[in-house]
Amino acid sequence: MSSASASVVWIRTEPSLAVVLNLNPFFLLEDDPTPARNNQMNRAASLVVSALSFVRAVRKEELPPDTVRGTPLCMYQYSRLFGTARVPTENGCQIVQDPDARHMVVLCRGQFYWFDVLDDNSDLIMTEKDLALNLRVIVEDAEQTPIPEAAKGALGVLSTENRKVWAGLREVLTRDEGSNNADCLGIVDSSLFILCLDYTEPQTTAQLCTNMLCGTNEVVKGVQIGTCTNRWYDKLQIIVCKNGSAGINFEHTGVDGHTVLRMASDVYTDTILRFAKSINGEAPSLWASTSPDPAKRDPSSFGDVSTTPHKLEWDMHAELSTALRFAETRLADLIQQNEFQVLEFGNYGKNFMTSMGFSPDAYVQMAFQAAYYGLYGRLECTYEPAMTKTFMHGRTEAVKSVTVESLEFVKTFWGENPPHQKVEAAKKATQKHTAITKDCAKAQGHDRHLYALFSVWQRALDEDGAEAASSNGFSSNGCSSPIEADSAERAPTSNGETLVSLDASSAASNSPHSRQQATHQMPALFADSGWEKINHTIISTSNCGNPSLRHFGFGPTSGDGFGIGYIIKDDSISICASSKHRQTKRFVDALESYLLEMKKLLRLTKKKATSTQTSRAREAEARPDGSRRKGMGRGKAVKGSEEPVEDKEESDDDGMGGCEFLLLLSLQKQMLEFSLTDLGFK
């Protein structure tokens, strides 16, 4: 286990916000195409081997750069993916990383185990069979403790608490001298990632998605025995069910969905290629270089490592037990307050949309707006991220999907209008959406720029009060002292303007001069009701996925909103929708109805002649009869039903949309960290 010092980055956060269901998204992977791996031990071992190969490629900087239409993207986020943890403190959260981490942590029935998996050179020291053996030993050991008993010590539940409470509980865990808890926390925080081995077998897709996002909630005789106790939400987690179904849940502050998607895709691809190599030794490898075969290495070459699983023994006491019970009750409430529905739309996908001249992403975005308008007769603030990784350390820009054109479209669609008019309105709306997305990908959107300005002003309200305002409120290293986003309390003045004053706890630590100037007038831009309106997202969406994923999703970002993750595949669309019981099933059904209706409208108005489904092979039949072999023309041709010819027109999508979901629920929930350099100040 590595003992290297960790790097630290401060972030602002809403202290009453828990990461589970509010921030962490999930990926549901497709099943492994090799049947032998579709059980828990083999699937988990295979995924870990591929994940470790990815870690090695990142550390050796051998990962081929991400590109969009030939333009390379910033790869910085990959360095923040492993060995990283989000650690709460009294003054906000830290992103802490051990860049030399060599061990992984396994969670099974709420119990923690660890062992080393890499050497000092980041080469693998265990084969897939070795890993499967370790995992089998861990499961057998964990099963010795009955689930109800294990649940009483499942400290992973504490990571679901709001950040301020969780910060206090970490202090409780580490304050007693001679306690194991500080070391246990260090092992978990510095691990490469967490592997969660669940004992359940979710049967439906919706159940699988729920399990990957927040775990299951099952209380028996007053004791929580669901998989929600088998998580640690402050880190990257690989989750494997008993039947081999697998997914990823990730802490989202330091990395975007596009980064984790690349990891998931490469991991899935590597599992297939390794199986191919077991059949044909000449099969290609995904990696520029690979680790020496651990089975052929001298064990002494591994260095100072521990490959035997070790169980973490937490020192439980009454205060911790009580805190854990309350945290679990709150988590169960949170899970019950949310509902999830999936739509696996198989009627058409990207190919059909592009053949009709539409950008697939814009097409689906209009579907969300049309379905919502059909149910409620209005449009609401809708969010989609656009990736800005063409810039160094780029993250995302917010695409606001509601436009004059989209409003005109939904009104036209639901009105008594001819098909061609509806299609024409749809084209105008999607073209506008595509144009906005391209601008945002070029960092020419408004959202992040305005938030940067807001952050500059907000940091003037640092603990140094007015003195901080006069000096920009930054320390010499370009970072301000972290301050909780809710430490500012808004109060209306007699003239209707809004002031923001530091709360008593912050003001008490200020100098007398600072206390006299503890209030500062909020800039008119941010006091305007429109600022609050555009930061209260009702429909939060993200397009993220490829054939390695079955589903992708996240929780609703507001109490009255929907969280919608979607994947547009060649001939299908996968949608996972969540809300706090806002008739999610009805909304998903409305989406499906809209998608079917649009296909009818497009068929009616498409000018191309219809033709039977065809392929390159069938096109060969167009040659003169004389060129065919004798007797090959006999029999009745079976051509299938008529479908529009789907030419593979190039999509308007530039690949920059999606792969992220809304971190910024409101001003208090914005997590983006800016330094002076990031904001253009020296």
C-alpha span between 90 and 484 (Å, rounded): 9
Whether 413 contacts 427, CB under 8 Å:
no
Does the annotation count 252 as an active-site position? Answer: yes
Q: From the CB of residue 75, how many other CB atoms can be counted at a distance below 10 Å? A: 16
> What are the phi and psi torsion angles at 135 (to 5°)?
-65, -35
Whole-angstrom distance between the N-terminal and C-terminal Cα of the chain? 39
* Nearest to 124, CA basis, from 286, 308, 294, 307: 294
Phi-psi region at 124: left, alpha or beta (left = phi > 0; alpha = psi -120 to 50): beta
C-alpha span between 294 and 57 (Å, rounded): 17
The token pair at 606 is 């498409």
**Rg of the chain taking only CA atoms, in angstroms:** 27
C-alpha span between 664 and 458 (Å, rounded): 15
- Output the CA–CA distances (angstroms, integers) from residue 393 to 75, 77, 80, 258, 387, in the order listed: 8, 7, 11, 13, 11
The token pair at 51 is 């994940």
> What are the phi and psi torsion angles at 45 (to 5°)?
-65, -40
Exposed, middle or buried: residue 375 (CB in 10 Å: 0-12, 13-18, 19+)? middle
The token pair at 503 is 């709360």
Whether 609 contacts 359, CB under 8 Å:
no
C-alpha span between 264 and 596 (Å, rounded): 31
C-alpha span between 478 and 316 (Å, rounded): 40
DSSP letter, residue 536 = S
The token pair at 376 is 């409620």
Q: Are strands 71-72 and 67-68 parallel, antiparallel or unpaired?
A: antiparallel
Catalytic residue among 252, 258, 520, 551: 252
Residue 220 parent element (H or E): strand 219-220
498: three-class secondary structure by DSSP: strand
* Nearest to 1, CA basis, from 134, 95, 117, 106: 117
C-alpha span between 94 and 84 (Å, rounded): 10
Residues in contact with 392: Cβ distance below 8 Å, sequence separation at least 6, in sequence order = 74, 76
DSSP letter, residue 118 = B
Q: At what angle do helices 419-441 and 404-414 cross, to 10 degrees?
A: 160
Q: Could you give the count of Cα atoms lying within 13 Å of 3 in the half-sphere of its Cβ?
A: 3
- Output the CA–CA distances (angstroms, integers) from residue 175 to 152, 314, 317, in the order listed: 21, 13, 12
Active-site residues, by number, are 252
